[in-house]
Structure 1
Amino acid sequence: MIRPEDLLRPTPAGLYCPPGDFYVDPVRPVDRAVVTHGHSDHARSGHGAVLATDQTLAIMAERYGEDFTTLRQPVAYGETASHNGVEIKLVPAGHVLGSAQAVVSYQGLTMVVSGDYKRRRDPTCAPFEPVPCHVFISEATFGLPVFTHPPDGEEIARLVQSLGQFPERAHLVGAYALGKAQRVIKLLREQGWERPIYVHGALERLNRLYEREGVDLGPILPATGLKKDALGGEVAIAPPSAIQDRWARRFADPVTAFASGWMLVKARAKQRGVELPLVISDHADWPELIATFEEIRPEEVWITHGREEGLLRWAELNGTKARALRLVGYDEEDDEAPDERPD
């Protein structure tokens, strides 16, 4: 069996596979890329060839244009592709639509690159699937014990309760355009909210893509062309930047909300001027990270980005070999891509 560092190694461009001559989620244009999901800190344009799920390729085309790469290589969940003798399999990561873990196998060694992932049920994407492996390469966005997120349903129930308490006020929810916005919409529907949900223009194309992929979002209307002081008692969803922009001034005394795992930190909510913080994350929290490691039981854990020190300490205390890769170029939570700026 070869050494793990001979199969995947950190470079300034991202994780590189020397025998396969490809990168996983490279942060700069490369000849061959395996892309785990469509957020723009992981999925960038300009690569020569991109291997990803059909949904991730569709998201990249929607965001960057049809010519975002020279060659698309779609791989379904569970299907195995091969390059230079290195096998690559994609399995669900539970992060957003089309998100995948990259399972890389060569000469008896199996390494799993998680990309970004979560363990909670999400009605908009396939759930995370644990894969036995020698080395598990994990994100650590919320890799500290303080990050224990409440149930998503409880947070959405707080939003519905506020709508009942303040029927004269618009409720403006900041949510990232890819994944978080659609998840909030579906969770609202599950709480019985059947009225139209209004959306910022930056969300419309991705909402349509989710609908084409079979995710029914219910009645959606554009939050444009409205009279001043509009949408009292209604829900509008927009990129986080828009809720602090002049775009938000059209709404009736809005209750500003923000759906993010970082809303657990009161100082962050206060800094953003958020009246109704909703702790809803598309990343694993601390208990979920630890439960994943204990379930998979890899020989080694590599930490790619986020709160590395907490997980390294946990690994030390629990007799698990671990290292921090200290990769740069990945955002703390879901990034705001260019098409998510206010209109």
Structure 2
Amino acid sequence: MSIRPEDILCPTEAGLYCPPGGFHIDPLRPVSHALITHGHSDHARPGHGAVLATRQTLDIMAIRYGEDFAASRQAADGPLRIGNVTVSFHPAGHVLGSAQILITPDTGPRILVSGDYCRTPNPVCLPWEPIPCDIFITEATFGLPIFRHPDPLAEAGRLLASMAEFTERPHLVGVYALGKAQRMIALARLSGHDAPIAIHGALQRLCDYHVAQGIDLGPLVPASEPGEARLVLAPPSAFATPWVQRFRDPVLAYASGWMTVRAWARQRGIELPLVISDHVDWPQLTATIRELAPQEVWITHGAEDGLLRWCELNAIPARPLRLVGYEDEPE
């Protein structure tokens, strides 16, 4: 009897489950054995029995949830045999420690779970690697043709140009605590901003961890004591709290792929939308599918129907998984 892809990996209420390996990938609720692609809280949840992830993702989960986030944990160093499958972790280019997970059964198709991934060079994490596979499971966060992300260094240049124009106004940039904050700092440094950057307290521990991992972020100061720092980074949720009132006439900016949708930015009072994303945009998404040329594409969260239609038009077998519970890093 032939092995079907669903016999190797299938969607369940708890998330993707591998029956021959007895584990879930990025489960939505506590399970006995979990493989985690990266540390964002919509993929990495606490309370599992055993967790397998990259060493950096395990460290990040400990920072976010405490050392007892799981009953046991193991770093994914090289291919590992689990039940009747072999699993291996490969860089995804999304955030520090992020990985694609390849499942190789004894017989049957090789399945690649990409997690969240990005092909644009990112100075704070390893670059995405193309991994041959038979079934490619891809996100579709920006799975519509309107999403075409500009050069992130050019967007950082727009930020510095605004700071040069509005010298008396502090610039507050909304960034997620894991990945986007550190990338925004690194992009500002690459664009020539050598002065101290003020960071909200919610960003401190993860910034410290990146520095400990050898990523140079330059001089950082607490946003509670910004001194002469004119660039301030904070979680987007801070913009809706009294915290923001300590800054006089700030320029509110937000670094996200969603800033492509200008109406979304205007509704939130964002004066300087910066289109900087840690996900693939539409051209990268479709180019990846063409490059890997899998036998079949499975689509998870995001604009599933848009990508599904593109696959149909290009005669690429595809199906939506309709998994719920995944989004950009929740506040």
TM-score (norm 2): 0.98
Alignment length, in residue pairs?
329
CA separation in 2, counterparts of 1:141 and 1:181? 19
Residue 145 of structure 1 corresponds to which residue in structure 2? 145
- Deviation, 1:245, is 1.8
- Give me the CA root mean square deviation: 1.0
Contact 1:155 1:279 in 2 (8 A): yes
Identity %: 59
Residue 339 of structure 1 corresponds to which residue in structure 2? none
Deviations along 1:126-154, one digit per CA (max 9) or x if unpaired, are 01101110000000000000111111011
Structure 1: gaps of 5 or more residues? 337-343
- After TM superposition, the structure 1 = structure 2 runs for residues 176-255 of structure 1, keeping only pairs within 5 Å, are 176-225=176-225, 234-255=230-251
CA separation in 2, counterparts of 1:14 and 1:31? 13
Residue 283 of structure 1 corresponds to which residue in structure 2? 279
Contact 1:168 1:252 in 2 (8 A): no
Matched, 1:335 2:321: no
- Deviation, 1:243, is 2.0
CA separation in 1, counterparts of 2:162 and 2:244? 18
Residue 87 of structure 1 corresponds to which residue in structure 2? 86
Residue 340 of structure 1 corresponds to which residue in structure 2? none
CA separation in 2, counterparts of 1:49 and 1:104? 18
SS in 2 for 1:302: strand
CA separation in 2, counterparts of 1:67 and 1:271? 40
SS in 1 for 2:176: coil
- Deviation, 1:244, is 2.7
- After TM superposition, the structure 1 = structure 2 runs for residues 151-190 of structure 1, keeping only pairs within 5 Å, are 151-190=151-190
Of the structure 1 ranges 1-10 and 164-173, higher mean CA displacement relative to structure 2 is found in 1-10
- Deviation, 1:271, is 1.1
Query: What amino acid maps onto 1:6 in structure 2?
Result: D
SS in 1 for 2:70: coil
Structure 2: gaps of 5 or more residues? none
Query: What amino acid maps onto 1:49 in structure 2?
Result: A
CA separation in 2, counterparts of 1:334 and 1:47? 20
Equivalent of 1:294 in 271, 285, 290: 290
- Deviation, 1:252, is 2.3
Residue 61 of structure 1 corresponds to which residue in structure 2? 62
CA separation in 2, counterparts of 1:38 and 1:335? 12
Matched, 1:35 2:36: yes
- Deviation, 1:225, is 4.4
- Deviation, 1:253, is 1.0
CA separation in 1, counterparts of 2:330 and 2:281? 18
SS in 1 for 2:149: coil
CA separation in 2, counterparts of 1:334 and 1:68? 18
Query: What amino acid maps onto 1:292 in structure 2?
Result: T
- Deviation, 1:334, is 2.5
Residue 106 of structure 1 corresponds to which residue in structure 2? 105
CA separation in 1, counterparts of 2:57 and 2:268? 30
SS in 2 for 1:280: coil
Deviation above 3 Å: which 4+ runs of structure 1? none
